[in-house]
Chain A
């Protein structure tokens, strides 16, 4: 009975591990939950299993090893392509109302807003300045500029 309980606890423990994806190029598997610790670099794209949390660090297992990782360096999102705007932002230049609401939820929207209460946009274009955002999106920062800026920073 006792053995069965232990096995059950272990099984539940294993089930509660959440897979997360290393997305930062500087993520390390740390021996302790502290930014002052040094650890081994985790390859970007690796999958770690979260088993716990302490302050800004997640307790994880990676290839059988246990350690800690900075919360800012991992995501529950699997690797995805990078959002790119480019010339595609010129596809439409005016704010248009969509006639139907799509079936998705968002936590903030869910706070007090049910799906049935979603508004149909009838006007309201005056509340937005999306041309200003288009201006911002068109402002190109080349990787070489960023690399040079960082080099000057060192």
Chain B
């Protein structure tokens, strides 16, 4: 069991796996299986490492000193941890995307270390793609793209990610799901589309790659100086570590040459349908867009790195039928077409015609 180390203000530490929390306390599961509640006010810092050396602990304590002075002026030092039982709520929550009184809120939880690492690598990968193709910095269309994408992402199991969607400036027909939630779609793909449902189909497919972790797990192993540094620094700094570079090189090769496993692509097609169905989009848009992609002039890379389009369409139709999913649903043609027309007006020419 991976454990965190909770450094206490008054000195000393507690080790355990963080399993729950509320406004005032966090619940730790200790190695012997018992649960302990620790008052948040008593915590100096949560460190995502089980084994901290005295030197590392001292360094972290020192880094917290300025914050401590400010904090102790405002509040009193809390008491000892109190053993408690974790109670699972019996009532079912009312549906809410943004949380409800009944659902267990996660917004105040510390960000998982593996998630930070995933974002670090995904961010570097997105930076590489942005460099290769150019990223169109059009506020209005990118906002629209993010509204469509985030509406779909709200249904996924990756609520800890802040999904981002952007346009790559190339005529190549493609889209890329970077770990950590960076989804980049090419201008060439958008040119093929006639409706928001078609846009939703490609974004759903990419969201599924991220949700189903088709780029692998980002589990941390062992502790080191850099792990402690990265636990202090939020992701988002413009730093690319050497290990990220290695991972990014491998994933760029997968995006542009080797492709993912065929079963992962088919799985993402099906998962995408499930997301579209939740959002109420016309499911037929997926196979319609795939058919257009197949006939496109700029599809060389996407066809090379994906299963045959005929197989994808066949599997999609079979999945929709087997699950008894209804056709119909919204297409939002007008909204998409207006956004796209305005985008083209503002950005008449693509900077880079096709990828090398």
A residues near B, CB below 8 A?
A: 21-26, 34-36, 40-46, 55-56, 63, 70-75, 77-85, 88-89, 91-98, 100-113, 117-121, 124-137, 139, 141, 143, 145-147, 149-150, 153-154
CA of A95 to CA of B130, assembled, Å: 15
Majority SS at the chain A contact face: loop
B residues near A, CB below 8 A?
A: 17-20, 88-89, 91-93, 95-99, 102-104, 106-112, 114-117, 119, 121, 123-124, 126-128, 130-131, 134-135, 137, 139, 142-143, 146-147, 150-151, 154-162, 164, 166, 180-182, 208, 211-212, 215-227, 230, 233-243, 245-247, 250-251, 254, 267, 270-271, 274-275, 277-280, 319, 322-325, 330, 332
B156 touches A104 (CB 8 A): no
A98 touches B242 (CB 8 A): yes
Question: A106-B216, A128-B127 given. 9 additional CB < 8 A pairs?
Answer: A43-B104, A79-B160, A80-B110, A82-B161, A101-B242, A102-B243, A104-B222, A128-B128, A132-B137
A78 touches B19 (CB 8 A): yes
Picked from A45, A84, A134, the residue with its CB within 8 Å of the CB of B162 is: A84
A81 touches B239 (CB 8 A): no
B135 touches A129 (CB 8 A): yes
**Min CB distance, A3 to chain B, in Å?**
29
CA of A116 to CA of B70, assembled, Å: 44
A129 touches B219 (CB 8 A): no
**Min CB distance, A120 to chain B, in Å?**
5
In the complex, which residues of chain B have a beta carbon less than 8 angstroms from the beta carbon of A113?
A: 246-247, 250
A23 touches B243 (CB 8 A): no
CA of A121 to CA of B116, assembled, Å: 20
Listed A/B pairs (20) with beta-carbon separation below 8 Å: A25-B97, A75-B211, A80-B109, A82-B106, A83-B116, A83-B162, A91-B234, A101-B226, A102-B243, A103-B223, A104-B222, A107-B217, A108-B251, A111-B250, A121-B240, A121-B241, A127-B128, A130-B123, A146-B151, A150-B151
* Given A81-B109, A101-B242: A72 and B235 interface contact (C-beta under 8 Å): no
B325 touches A46 (CB 8 A): no
In the complex, which residues of chain A have a beta carbon less than 8 angstroms from the beta carbon of B217?
A: 106-107
**Min CB distance, B174 to chain A, in Å?**
17
In the complex, which residues of chain A have a beta carbon less than 8 angstroms from the beta carbon of B92?
A: 40-43
In the complex, which residues of chain B have a beta carbon less than 8 angstroms from the beta carbon of A74?
A: 157
In the complex, which residues of chain B have a beta carbon less than 8 angstroms from the beta carbon of A104?
A: 117, 218-222, 227, 243
CA of A137 to CA of B155, assembled, Å: 21
B147 touches A105 (CB 8 A): no
B135 touches A44 (CB 8 A): no
Picked from B106, B147, B216, B322, the residue with its CB within 8 Å of the CB of A146 is: B147
CA of A84 to CA of B319, assembled, Å: 36
Picked from A91, A106, A117, A149, the residue with its CB within 8 Å of the CB of B151 is: A149
CA of A55 to CA of B321, assembled, Å: 14
In the complex, which residues of chain B have a beta carbon less than 8 angstroms from the beta carbon of A132?
A: 127, 130-131, 134-135, 137, 166
* Given A75-B157, A106-B117: A43 and B89 interface contact (C-beta under 8 Å): yes
